Structure 1
Amino acid sequence: MEYIWLIGLHVAAVTVWIAGMSVAAILLSALDSTTAAEEGPARILRAASRWDRRVTSPAMGLAWILGLTLVLWGGWGLEPWLVAKVVIVTALSALHGTLAAGLRRLAEPAPASGVRPVSPLLRLSPLAVIAGAIAIVTLVVVKPY
C-alpha cells in the first residue's frame, strides 16, 4: 500500500516540477532583454524566479528522491526503459537549471551595457519540456523495451 502512495507523491512532484519549468520556458521564450527590462515583465520574471526557488526546484528534488526510492523499492534494476527515462530526466534537470539561471539573469537590473545575455536556444525550451515529459510518460506506461 505504501508503494502506491509513493507513486502518487512522485507523480504530484513531477507535475509541479514540469508545470514550473513550462512557465519559466514560456516566459524566457517570449521575452527578450529589452522587453524584460520594462516594469511589468520584470515583476513577472522576479515572481517566476521566486516561485522557481521556492516551489519548482524543491519539487524537482522531491521527484528525484521519490523516483529513486521507487526504483529501489520496486526492484526495477537497470531495465532499458528505465535507463532511457533517467537520461531524459537528467536532461530535463539540466534544462531546469538553465531556465532558472535565465529567469534570474533577465529579472536582474540591466548592467551598464544594457545587455543581459540569455541563450537564444532557450526559445526552444517549451518544446523541449513538453517533448521530455511525453517521452517519460510513454516510457513509463508502455515500457517498450
Structure 2
Amino acid sequence: MTGWLGDAYLWVKAAHVVFMVFWVAGLFMLPRYLVHHQEGLGDPAEGPRWVKREALLRRMILTPAMGAVWLLGLALAAHIGLFDGQTGLGWLHAKLLLVVALSGYHGWAVGYSRKLAAGRPTLAPKTLRLLNEVPALAVALIVVLAVVKPF
C-alpha cells in the first residue's frame, strides 16, 4: 500500500495539518472553558452558559477535527508504509503514541465537562489549570517528531 495516495499525498498532508490546527485550537480552548465553568458553578446562571459553550465547541470543532486528523493521518501513515512493515518509522510510532494520548486527553476533557454540567467538580482549580498545559506539551513533541524524524 506504500505510495497509494500518489499525487494527492500533499493535499492529504495539507488537510491533515489544517484539521490538526483546528483540533489543537479546540483542545486549548476546552480546558480553559472548564476552568471558567468550574469557577462559575456558584452562579446558577453561569453553569448552563458554559454547558452550552462546551457542547458547541465539541460538536462544531473538537470531535469533527479529531476524526479528520485520525482519518487523514492513517491515510498518510499507510502511504509511507506503516502497515507494510516499512523500516525507519520509529518517529511515526512515537507520534502515534502521543496522538493516542492526546485523544485520551480529549476524552478526559469531554468527560470532565459532563461532570461539571452535573455540578460535580472533582479537581482542585490549580490542578485543572495545570492540566491545561497537556495539549501544548503533546503538540510540541508531535511536531518535533513529524518534522525532525529523529529516529
With the shorter chain as reference, the TM-score category is 0.7 to 0.9
Q: Which runs of 5+ in 2 are unaligned?
A: 1-6
Partner Cα distance (1:64, 1:96) in 2: 13
Shift in Å at residue 42 of structure 1?
3.6
Look up the equivalent residue of 1:35 and give its one-letter code. Answer: G
Equivalence for 2:90: 80
Shift in Å at residue 80 of structure 1?
1.1
Equivalence for 2:147: 141
Shift in Å at residue 103 of structure 1?
1.5
Matched, 1:36 2:41: yes
TM-score (norm 2): 0.81
Equivalent pair of 1:22/1:126 in contact (CA under 8 Å): yes
State the identity as a percent: 33
Segment drifting more, 133-142 vs 41-50: 41-50
Distance 1:67-1:135 versus aligned 2 partners, 3 A rule: same
The RMSD of aligned alpha carbons is 2.0
Partner Cα distance (1:22, 1:61) in 2: 17
1:123 corresponds, among 122, 129, 132, to: 129
Partner Cα distance (2:10, 2:42) in 1: 46
Partner Cα distance (2:98, 2:25) in 1: 16
Q: Which runs of 5+ in 1 are unaligned?
A: 111-115
Partner Cα distance (1:59, 1:45) in 2: 20
1:104 corresponds, among 96, 99, 114, to: 114
Partner Cα distance (2:74, 2:142) in 1: 15
Partner Cα distance (1:122, 1:104) in 2: 15
* Equivalent residue pairs, number: 138
Partner Cα distance (2:18, 2:40) in 1: 34
TM-score (norm 1): 0.84
Shift in Å at residue 67 of structure 1?
0.3
Spell out, residue by residue over 1:93-145, the C-alpha distance to the aligned partner (whole angstroms, 9 max, x if none).
0000010111222134x4xxxxx133444432221110001110011011111
Equivalent pair of 1:36/1:107 in contact (CA under 8 Å): no
Look up the equivalent residue of 1:84 and give its one-letter code. Answer: A
Equivalence for 1:51: 57
Equivalent pair of 1:88/1:136 in contact (CA under 8 Å): yes
